Amino acid sequence: MTLRDTPQSWEVVATDTPFRGAKTAVRTDEVVMPGGATARRDYQVHPGSVAVLALDGEGRVLVLSQYRHPVGRKLWEIPAGLLDVPGENPLTAAQRELYEEAHVKADDWRVLLDLYPTPGGSSEAVRVFLARGLAEAEGERYAVTDEEADMEFARVALDELVRGALAGELQNNCLVTGVLAVRAALAGEGLDALRPADAPWPARPY
């Protein structure tokens, strides 16, 4: 039995946007339910994101620690960022994030996984790329500000990150799903069998 998520659109009889921020908004829809009644659904309208699991030749993952105010934690994460340039290729965005956050480039890119982190409350879609063949980027480092100015960096063995995820010590969504996906791919057909970096992404076509 093969399971696939399928596109669907239930009727919306009223909509409002009570909040608009710099990058996201909050929308309220009155949605017709299967029985004919309507229900209010409040959710974040999000441009989407990309993340990069950068795996070096020694089986280590490039991670960074960043303060996240909404959860009151400094989380270990993989490089990631918003798709806030209209029409931008997600791969281009991922390459930019790896450069800006870690000053690293890669010569082998593949799609690791696509996910909706919180589909009950946000329209955010995330594409996580696997990057290999790592090297230091040319030129000066990107100037960072705000939370990014306090980031710490490390290269950590994949198995240690898997252990930390299963122990509840690491909780960032893209880090946890990313390292578990790499472990699953290695136990299956291998990393070279992953989708190409330009694979279609219906959630965020470009």
Taking the CB of residue 203, how many other CB atoms lie within 10 A of it?
16
Active-site residue identified among 148, 152, 160, 189: 148
How far, in Å, CA of 190 to CA of 183, rounded?
9
How far, in Å, CA of 29 to CA of 179, rounded?
36
Counting other chains too, the contacts that 30-36 makes at CB distance below 8 Å and 24 or more residues apart are: none
- Pairing status of strand 12-20 against strand 25-32: antiparallel
Locate tokens 């009889």: which residue?
A: 13
Let me know: does 174 contact 182? Beta carbons within 8 Å: no
Catalytic, 148? Answer yes
- For the annotated catalytic residues, the residue numbers are 148
